Amino acid sequence: MKVRAIIFDVYATLLQVGAPPADAEARWTELFAEMLGEPPLLSRTEFSVRSSQVIAQQHAAARVRGIRCPEILWPSIVSEVLPGLSRWPTKKFEEFIFRQMQIGRTLRLADHAGDCLHQLQERGTPLGIASNSQHYTLRELGEALHGAGLNLSLFDPHLCFWSFQNGFSKPDSHVFQILTARLEARGISPGETLMVGDRLDNDIQPARAHGWQAWQLVSESQAGLSGDWRELLGWLSERR
């Protein structure tokens, strides 16, 4: 069937996620020295452990309220673990969070993703996002796209689901129901919509459950619709 709209996952799909930078510990110390003028209030390990505890508490409370796949707001987690930071001006706090996240892993635009996105843009294919994400995700993705001569305007805001804006995340069926309704309002049926993601549980299976086509992004082709970005582009060229 013809593909008339494509929805992408972000992490491990549009963005390749790697190990923390080699100088992560030094960056952690430098971050606090530059922005607080003092040594780290917690070690990286202590910060991670405490953050995980707070996230678990918030997830549990949300599930009691009936939210099956809850999403947190990372600034609220950081504010609870490092209370003094919440009194900072918003821009300074956001910069701290962004830099803190870059210490934890490395990111880059996936190989050949730029070529595929450029061609889809030229064709005028409506593109969207379905991502378990935080506010900093938009900056991370925007910076990676910029390196390929692209920007976030490539994606239609009305076809983007960012979990931090909604309080719940994939694979909750409501993510795909919301996007299905928005696409159908444009005359695009579920069968004409393609989900591109790396995870069967979060991306592929729930998309198919809503009648979408789904491409699992993997380094080597597997059974069904799967393969790398070059294989995806070749498959899409046959469905124009």
What pLDDT shows up at residue 237? 87
* pTM for the predicted model, two decimal places: 0.95
Query: What tens digit of pLDDT does each residue of 109-160 get?
Result: 999 999 999 999 999 999 999 999 999 999 999 999 999 999 999 999 999 9
Whether the Cβ atoms of residue 146 and residue 211 lie closer than 8 Å to each other? no
Residue 235 has pLDDT above 70, yes or no: yes
Domains of the chain: 5-18+107-237 (3.40.50.1000), 24-104 (no CATH)
Confidence at residue 190, expressed as pLDDT on a 0 to 100 scale: 98
The predicted pLDDT at position 222 comes to 65
- Mean of pLDDT over the chain: 95
